[in-house]
Structure 1
């Protein structure tokens, strides 16, 4: 990579627009990741240490553990949908603008 290209990239990464984009991404992704990991490890801990409670039947052969397992899948899809929505509304436009700015600078 040439020194001109390195300068363009480092200038872009130091720009307020890029810093704002990182802040928006991290402000969404990090809390949601922590929340999901807490939820996931809670499920694992319950299956390891609260076997009596999670084996409680709810309807027929369906017990609490089965419902919590299904909720793990549901929460994964919910997170995917929330991230796509956040990305479309808050990240895609600014990142496209930054990409165009970098492309313009690199083509000089």
Structure 2
């Protein structure tokens, strides 16, 4: 089954979302860490009752939840139907 075109298409569908999204989030995370390391004065600036660093830290959590939600929607629409088709074929 791994050599089948259906499985290759499923793998491509999965990877076309997860790899770019993982790279984008990793860059965002590294940017946050590097900014906190090399620009602590700017991160400590007050902004809307908190400092910039705390707002960016909260944004890390929010983007994690957002990415999870987007992935669930994407998987339900694109990945799960293909996986179900392969599962049905394998189980007979």
What's the TM-score once normalised by structure 2's chain length? Answer: 0.97
Q: Which residue of the partner structure matches residue 28 of structure 2? A: 39
Structure 2: gaps (5+ residues): none
Unaligned ranges ≥5, structure 1:
1-11
Deviations 1:21-68 (A, max 9, x none): 1001000000000000000011111111100111111123x0100100
State the TM-score, normalizing by the size of structure 1: 0.83
2:54 alignment counterpart: 66
Aligned residues: 92
Name 1:15's counterpart in structure 2.
Answer: 4
- State the partner residue of 1:76: 64
Rg larger in structure:
1
* Cα-Cα RMSD: 0.7
Q: How far apart, CA to CA, are the structure 1 residues paired with 2:60 and 2:36?
A: 13
- Quote the Cα distance in structure 2 between the aligned partners of 1:39 and 1:45: 10
User: In structure 2, what is the equivalent of residue 7 of structure 1?
Assistant: none
Which whole-Å CA distance do the structure 1 matches of 2:6 and 2:74 have between them?
A: 17
